[in-house]
Amino acid sequence: MSSSNPLAFEQAWQYSPAPESTDHIQLDERYGLFINGEFAPADSGQTFATINPATEKPLAQVADAGESDVDRAVTAAREAYENVWSPMPAAERGKYIFRIARALAERAREFAVIESLDGGKPIRESRDIDIPLASAHFFYYAGWADKLDYAFAGCQPSPLGVAAQVIPWNFPLLMAAWKIAPALAAGNTVVLKPAETTPLTALKLAELCQDVGLPAGVVNIVTGDGDTGAALLGHPGIDKVAFTGSTNVGRQIMRSLAGTGTPYTLELGGKAANIVFEDAPVDQAVEGIVNGIFFNQGHVCCAGSRLLVSEAIAEELLEKLKARIDTLIVGDPLDKNTDIGAINSAAQLARIEQYLDIGRGEGADFWQGANTPPETGYYCRPTLFTNVAQSNRVVQEEIFGPVLTVQTFRTFNEARDKANNTPYGLSGGVWTDKGARIFKMTSELRAGVVWANTFNKFDPTSPFGGYKESGVGREGGLHGLAAYLDLGRGMQS
Amino acid sequence: MSNTDADTGRLPVAKTYKLYIGGKFPRTESGRANALRNSAGDVIANVCRASRKDLRSAVVAARAASPGWSSASAYLRGQILYRIAEMLEGRARQFHEELEREGVSAAVAVDEVSQTIDRLIHYAGWADKYVQVLSSINPVASSHFNFSVPEPTGVVGIVAPSAPGLLGLVSMLAPVIAGGNCVVALAPERHPLSSMSFAEVLHASDVPAGVVNLLTGQVEELLPHLAKHMDVNGLLIADATAEQAAEAQRDGAENIKRVIDVTGVDWSAADAEGVYHIASMQETKTTWHPIAN
């Protein structure tokens, strides 16, 4: 860290390690599949290891579900749907979901630690964002269960049946909550496949479902890789598909569902612009840029991975941004001081590093912070690419890592056109002191979530999802409820 | 085509049915035509058989019209939809005759035109209301003002049902344009005449050029190009085999296009209209702003 950095407090004041305690969590050596209320091994007996990306050591062995296991899970979900969950009075259904919300809040620290161990995210984020939001999500949708007739004007909606859900590794428990909570509130049962590299909190959630007495078969968790996911989404017994992941896999899912009439929600990739005008509060904008791209190591589909900054303040802002990045602590995910944790897997780190090579090969200026990641574990220092062209691959393609490209603009229209010049349309940000300009930009950005003078904020009541190649449908809020209901009117996909 | 009128001795002037692209009525660039015959086997019109190039021109026109139409005031869109209904009402007799020439009974033709006009009025009234019905203010736990509103998805393809020829097309078209989208529609393959005359109604109703583009031709030939087109955001199909619709869904996946198969919908039913038909071609945008001093 350079001594001229005004933010380099560390030279006067060293941070001591502040690791979160792990003595209160319990992990089994081996986890089965959660089907019909019971844990059981896969029919094949196959397992795979889930790795702590900060130590590169295995945490547990997890069952690898094959087609026959998926079939048992779908059958269990079907029976629970027909015999238990959909005949149950809606208010009682809601009370079960409230129980999940409460139990999750009670055991929040345990879930937070496991989330950080399995996925590499800083404990500060899993403790303050992932787990509280997951609990809040269950709490929000629990209350909808007996109010569905009020949700959509002119409709008496009905549930769809068995929902097949596949989620990614960046927010493992939170994504499970986003998928399971609205599905159950609407009266569906679910089979959920967590990501291969982060199955543990979903399995702990399965234990929690047992603990709160959720009827068997209402929630089923099958672990495995992409083949397990394909077996689940291709199963003829499902009535709804919900997927969060890459646009490429989303395309394959759309193709496999063609002609089946199965409704789907897809939450896919993004390449969001974070636009900073010359009248923006620069210090706040710097914090927003950092939060936009380095939150969760940049493993965020809605990350603000393209900075668009007014030419008038670009030099000043970049200087402040670099000084701020230098102070970020890249390190042990369980340390409470850590800002940027471990990259989720060796494969993802390799993918990010490949993009770093691509960016340099395209002639962009490459800059990394003076951070000092640990020797072992999968880490990537926060990275900036300046002097990039709109057509550069690092500007166009989703990297899913702590890598920010920086472009400048002179006029409103230039900023808007560069922001919208992408096949994606998930999110965007705008920083300015001028209210009229905020509304003009937020209404002209072709993106599903727009943050003005803030970034990467989430809430159960707030619909989330993308335009264009970023997906179909919404999760969260009233709009997210529609994805799990047959409204009986209109032309639904 | 009609022969000399027995009473007046006058030979009627037959209309050339052309395409409607970007507010103009061009012939197909391909020079191809399909002879449309009545049940007696007589040629009643030579209908343009649009090509892939015509379709691409139509998408370009629709995309060009999109910024203006999507940002036009809801009040204006409602007024223009109402104007379309007014124009159709004034030309109702022409449409009765055209539908009859395509083989519909006189009574059914009268009923179909009336329902079509009423459907336009229905959506004229929705233009400045659907945003309120489909929007929300979201009570987030943090100190932010947060709201969600529908916005048009962009350019929408429509494959109109073969019957009812006029009511089907208008029932699919009206909610899509009421919601601020621009359209490239394939007229019913076997009953295209009233659709193409409907383009003249649109043209006389202050619908901006390119907001609605109408093509005649073959579903089998044109649907794959519509489904694959990377600048089309959504597709509604009401006249295709199950295999053609599934193929369009596979093709549409390339740009995550929503491809909705509505083949078999009864367009004269009460629930064939309403706000959820508008919603199917809307995106929801959620905006966050801090609350602070």
**Residue B271 pLDDT class (50, 70, 90 cuts):** confident
**Residue A492 pLDDT class (50, 70, 90 cuts):** low
| pLDDT at residue number B292 | 86
Q: What's the rounded mean pLDDT across residues A218-229?
A: 98
B2 CA: distance to closest CA in chain A (Å): 40
Digit-coded pLDDT (tens) for B8-26: 889 988 889 999 999 999 9
Q: What's the rounded mean pLDDT across residues A5-33?
A: 86
**Residue A261 pLDDT class (50, 70, 90 cuts):** very high
Taking contacts as CB-CB distances below 8 angstroms, the residues of chain B near A153 are: 133, 275
| pLDDT at residue number A1 | 45
Residue B263 forms contact with A (CB below 8 Å): no
Angstrom distance (rounded) from CA A163 to CA B276: 22
Q: Which of residues 268-307 of A touch B (CB under 8 A)?
A: 268
Average pLDDT of chain A? 96
Taking contacts as CB-CB distances below 8 angstroms, the residues of chain A near B240 are: none
Question: Which residue of B228, B285, B291 is the best one to mutate when testing the A interface, meaning the one whose CB has the most A CBs within 10 A?
Answer: B285
Q: Which of B254, B277, B286 lies closest to A463 in CB terms?
A: B286
Of B138, B132, B140, B214, the C-alpha closest to B173 is: B214
Q: What's the rounded mean pLDDT across residues B259-287?
A: 95
Taking contacts as CB-CB distances below 8 angstroms, the residues of chain A near B158 are: none
Question: Which residue of A233, A468, A491 is the best one to mutate when testing the B interface, meaning the one whose CB has the most B CBs within 10 A?
Answer: A491
* Strand B136-137 relative to strand A47-52, pairing: unpaired
Annotated catalytic residue, options A115, A209, A301, A398: A301
Question: Which residue of A462, A467, A485 is the best one to mutate when testing the B interface, meaning the one whose CB has the most B CBs within 10 A?
Answer: A462
Contact A251 B256 (CB under 8 A): yes
Q: In angstroms, how far is the first alpha carbon of chain B from the final one?
A: 75
B217: left (phi over 0), alpha (psi -120 to 50) or beta: left
A464 CA: distance to closest CA in chain B (Å): 7
Q: How many C-beta neighbours within 10 Å does residue A445 have? A: 25
- For residue B185, give both structure tokens: 């529609």
| pLDDT at residue number A6 | 74
Nearest Cα residue in chain A from B259? A493
Report whether pLDDT(A478) > 60: yes
Q: Who contacts A476 (Cβ-Cβ below 8 Å, separation ≥6)?
A: A137, A178, A458, A459, A460, A461, A462, A463, A464
B141 CA: distance to closest CA in chain A (Å): 7
Q: What's the rounded mean pLDDT across residues A272-300?
A: 97
Cα→Cα distances A260→A33, A235, A486, B246, Å: 28, 11, 16, 8
Digit-coded pLDDT (tens) for B154-192: 999 999 999 899 999 999 999 999 999 999 999 998 889
Report whether pLDDT(A3) > 70: no
Report whether pLDDT(A160) > 80: yes
**Residue A123 pLDDT class (50, 70, 90 cuts):** very high
Angstrom distance (rounded) from CA B48 to CA B68: 29
| 3-state secondary structure at position B201 | helix
Angle at B156 between CA B153 and CA B159, to 5 degrees: 150
**Residue A116 pLDDT class (50, 70, 90 cuts):** very high
| pLDDT at residue number A12 | 65
Residue A108 has φ and ψ, to the nearest 5°, of: -60, -45
| 3-state secondary structure at position B195 | helix
Report whether pLDDT(A299) > 90: yes
Taking contacts as CB-CB distances below 8 angstroms, the residues of chain A near B247 are: 258
Residue B287 forms contact with A (CB below 8 Å): yes
Q: What is the DSSP string of A201-222?
A: HHHHHHHHHHHTTPPTTSEEE-
Taking contacts as CB-CB distances below 8 angstroms, the residues of chain B near A454 are: 144, 288-290
Angstrom distance (rounded) from CA A163 to CA A188: 7
| pLDDT at residue number B245 | 97
Q: What's the rounded mean pLDDT across residues A313-339?
A: 97
**Residue A124 pLDDT class (50, 70, 90 cuts):** very high
Digit-coded pLDDT (tens) for A59-76: 999 999 999 999 999 999
**Residue A493 pLDDT class (50, 70, 90 cuts):** very low
Contact B279 A474 (CB under 8 A): no
| pLDDT at residue number B39 | 83
Taking contacts as CB-CB distances below 8 angstroms, the residues of chain B near A152 are: 276
Nearest Cα residue in chain A from B139? A461
Q: A412-420 and A435-444 helices cross at what angle (nearest 10)?
A: 30
**Residue A11 pLDDT class (50, 70, 90 cuts):** low
- Reported pTM: 0.96
Per DSSP (E only), the strands in A262-357 are: 264-267, 273-276, 306-310
Digit-coded pLDDT (tens) for A189-207: 999 999 999 999 999 999 9
Is residue A302 annotated as a catalytic residue, yes or no?
no
**Residue B293 pLDDT class (50, 70, 90 cuts):** low
Contact B283 A259 (CB under 8 A): no
A298 CA: distance to closest CA in chain B (Å): 20
Q: What's the rounded mean pLDDT across residues A274-297?
A: 97
Q: How many C-beta neighbours within 10 Å does residue B290 have? A: 14
| pLDDT at residue number A429 | 98
Contact B136 A457 (CB under 8 A): no
Report whether pLDDT(B6) > 90: no
Contact B287 A461 (CB under 8 A): no
Taking contacts as CB-CB distances below 8 angstroms, the residues of chain B near A452 are: 287-290
Give the largest CA-CA distance in chain B: 83
Angstrom distance (rounded) from CA A308 to CA B230: 26
Q: What's the rounded mean pLDDT across residues B72-101?
A: 97
Cα→Cα distances A140→A86, A98, A105, A108, A213, Å: 20, 9, 13, 17, 20
Residue B118 forms contact with A (CB below 8 Å): no
Q: What share of chain A in percent tops pLDDT 90? A: 95
Q: Running DSSP on this structure, what letter comes out for residue A200? A: H
Residue A463 forms contact with B (CB below 8 Å): yes
Annotated catalytic residue, options A20, A125, A196, A267: A267
Is residue A267 annotated as a catalytic residue, yes or no?
yes
| pLDDT at residue number B7 | 86
Cα-based torsion angle of the residue sequence B24, B29, B32, B33 in order, rounded to the nearest 10 degrees: 0
Contact A465 B247 (CB under 8 A): no
Average pLDDT of chain B? 95
Q: What's the rounded mean pLDDT across residues A383-407?
A: 98
Contact A266 B256 (CB under 8 A): yes
Q: What share of chain A in percent tops pLDDT 70? A: 98
